[in-house]
Chain A
């Protein structure tokens, strides 16, 4: 793997990017706060999705998205949505905008089309109950596919998202897959990191007020240090995602791919670690559905499990060091 000189990377959000993040945050606070997320039970709300899309948040790095920037804007948007656990096929939509032809892409950007991204040979379709565009990952390629509505069956999941099962009919191989994979991984990583950081913040706040043995939980090193480890690992993964975004925006696609794979893998591990650690801090209250942790931890589990998954990223990184067996 070729190291990238990060001295030229400015990983902070600029004013415009921060403004986008703030707008998304305000949207979430007014339209999709924690109680709404819990009451939605991770189901898909077409109304909310279209309201979100109307802000232009699915348009960065596309011809239609003039003024909405590129991958760093996607980072900013994904972080804002992740910290509010907003439901929907976010990362797959960013991938779709890179590979679909003009009218289909426009429908994704305005939120009127919902995309399902699955692996070839797999009949499980994330968000498949609501999807009308089906994309299939075949190694380093993306295929357009069609789904017979009559054969589509609802599938219940751990996180309660509306997955489906159906066989697909494969169509054209689409251009732009490499860019799409990078943005998919950046968005997934940024969302996971933000959700994990939100969970760590909630757990830390709780540890400061919850007393046992006459002492706040946060005063115990055995509680505080694991939370610190989570914060560090999530922040590191978040930095990788932003580095990938910077490289993408500067046109260095090789470095962007390396960073985006590293970001996704690091974010998956860090977010799962945060979910485990924070549940442990919240103890019994974290196990209940009305509590502060479960709606975030199961979203983390969903994103980690979501196709194309970590396998593709691992295969890419192994190739960079001369190992691995896949193309």
Chain B
């Protein structure tokens, strides 16, 4: 593995960093506070025009073909300024990658340019259900064949970008008699399809500008051509794509953690207590050293997972390790940074409280830390046996 970045990767990282500083950072606090949807959607459109909505999508479909490492670098830079924008970008990339991985040529030609160009503001990933979170194989949403159509019934919860996604990748049981996880298929459902109702955005702790909704499917009729991949083979696809999504969320968490620590580091060099700069206190110095060491280790784990995926190798365990480590260390970093600012860390005039709220979900969505440990330990024990 070559740890140095290619010219193209550096270019994309710089581009994302510049966009984050100039476009996202000035409005991030406002988006968190008031949820200015127009500004939020405007930024998504600009990101699409910069090629960030299809970073790992082939160029003939409008993507950047820049690879997984470039994707990870871009998400980290975006998250330093606005986690809500970063998660929307990450999920949209993931949706595009599902379509690229298992879609037929017609589906790719139809949907990928719309996602990559920003014609669709975002893509939605419809997997989680109220009784099937960490264990999606027990999902209850059903798809029944009716002539040339499929009819969907059921609910999906906590769906990122539910309000404004142009297309959703939705998983549903298509074989009631199959064992859990075996009779599930994957479908493309466009926003606005009759029978699909989008619930109100959840009032969340963090990442508030990114809408999170429930999708209600009530006799939602979609054409047979909406089947994505093979019938009854959807669960395997979901598991595979979630692994890719974990690189995105780990990268996002890394960005938030770094932003928090960078802010706190600067603060320590300016703020005086007991007659000297906070940065002179060894306890605080050591906290900085520990957190930055952990975040650097997280970055390397993410790069390794991204590299393995880019090479076409099995990367599921590496992605789980990277996601687990990056999100938990980023949580630690945000809380440490908040504590370093004392009362100023707690009030909304400073960004630390937003970082602490935004980072909390990262060790929960896209597979909780506990699920990552299940995957990692299962793989380790399989290797031993």
Known interface pairs A158-B356, A283-B368, A309-B342. Does A290 touch B373 (Cβ–Cβ under 8 Å)?
no
**In the complex, residue of chain B having the shortest beta-carbon distance to the beta carbon of A298:** B205
The one of B133, B346, B349 in contact with A301, judged by C-beta atoms closer than 8 angstroms, is B346
B363 touches A280 (CB 8 A): yes
Q: Evaluate contact between B135 and A157: CB separation under 8 angstroms.
A: no
Judged by a CB distance under 8 angstroms, whether B364 is at the interface is yes
Is A305's CB under 8 angstroms from B370's CB?
no
Q: Which residues of A contact B368 (CB under 8 A)?
A: 280, 283
Which B residues are in CB contact (< 8 Å) with A301? Answer: 346, 356
User: A158, B274: Cβ atoms under 8 Å?
Assistant: no
Q: B105 interface residue, CB < 8 Å from A?
A: no
Task: Collect the chain A residues with CB atoms within 8 Å of residue B131's CB.
Answer: 211
B206: nearest chain-A partner, CB-CB: A287
- Which one of B135, B348, B361, B369 contacts A156 once the chains associate, using CB atoms below 8 Å? B348
CA distance A212 to B343 in the complex (A): 40
Say whether B134 faces chain A, with CB atoms less than 8 Å apart: yes
User: Is A326's CB under 8 angstroms from B364's CB?
Assistant: no
CB distance from B270 to the nearest CB of A (A): 14
- In the assembled complex, which residues on chain B have CB atoms less than 8 Å from the CB atom of A287? 202, 204-206, 360-361, 364
Within 8 A of B (CB), among A218-235: 220, 222-223
Known: A158-B348, A222-B370, A279-B360. A288 touches B205 (CB 8 A): yes
Q: Which residues of B have CB within 8 Å of A214?
A: 135, 138
CA distance A280 to B328 in the complex (A): 11
| Interface secondary structure of B, over-half rule | mixed
A98-137 interface (Cβ within 8 A of B): 119, 121-122, 124, 126
Check B203–A289 contact: CB distance below 8 A.
yes
Question: A196 in the interface, Cβ–Cβ < 8 Å?
Answer: no
* Cross-chain contact of A284 among B132, B158, B370 (Cβ < 8 A): B158
- Give complex CA distance A82, B15 in Å: 48
Instruction: Say whether B203 contacts A158, CB under 8 Å.
Output: no
B206, B348, B368, B370, most chain A CB atoms within 10 A: B370
A94 contacts the other chain (Cβ, under 8 Å)?
no
In the bound assembly, the distance between CA atoms of A124 and B342 in angstroms comes to 10
A280 B205 Cβ-Cβ under 8 A = no
In the complex, A307→B344 CA distance in Å?
11
B111 at the interface (CB under 8 A from A): no
> B97 at interface (Cβ–Cβ under 8 A)?
no
Contact A156:B274 (CB < 8 A) given known A283-B134, A284-B128: no
Encoded as 1 (CB less than 8 Å from any B CB) or 0, chain A from 299 to 310 comes to 001100101010
A155 engages B347 (CB within 8 Å): yes
A212-B135, A288-B203, A289-B203 as given contacts; A279 in contact with B346, CB under 8 Å? no
Is B40 interfacial (CB-CB < 8 Å)? no
Task: Assess whether A279 is in contact with B347, with CB atoms less than 8 Å apart.
Answer: no
Q: Are A325 and B274 in contact (CB under 8 A)?
A: yes
B364 and A284 contact, CB distance less than 8 A: yes
Whether a CB of chain A sits under 8 angstroms from the CB of B247 is no
- In the assembled complex, which residues on chain B have CB atoms less than 8 Å from the CB atom of A284? 128, 133, 157-158, 361, 364-365
Those of B200-240 within 8 Å (CB) of chain A: 202-206
Interface flag for A272 (CB, 8 Å):
yes
Contacts of A302 in B (CB 8 A): 346
Q: How far is the CA of A212 from the CA of B205 in the complex (A)?
A: 24
Residue A181 interfacial (CB < 8 Å)? no
How long is the Cα–Cα vector from A121 to B274 in the complex, in angstroms? 10
How distant is the Cα of A168 from the Cα of B134 in the complex, in angstroms? 52
Is the beta-carbon distance between A122 and B343 smaller than 8 angstroms? yes
Question: What are 26 A-B residue pairs whose CB atoms fall within 8 Å in the complex?
Answer: A126-B343, A156-B347, A157-B346, A157-B347, A158-B346, A158-B347, A212-B132, A222-B370, A223-B370, A279-B360, A280-B368, A283-B364, A284-B133, A284-B361, A284-B365, A286-B364, A287-B364, A288-B203, A288-B205, A289-B204, A290-B203, A305-B339, A305-B342, A305-B346, A309-B342, A325-B274
Known: A124-B347, A157-B346. 11 other contacts (CB 8 A): A212-B135, A214-B138, A280-B364, A283-B368, A284-B365, A287-B361, A288-B204, A289-B204, A290-B203, A302-B346, A307-B343
Those 6 A-B pairs whose CB atoms lie nearest each other, nearest first? A158-B353, A156-B348, A305-B346, A212-B135, A124-B343, A289-B203
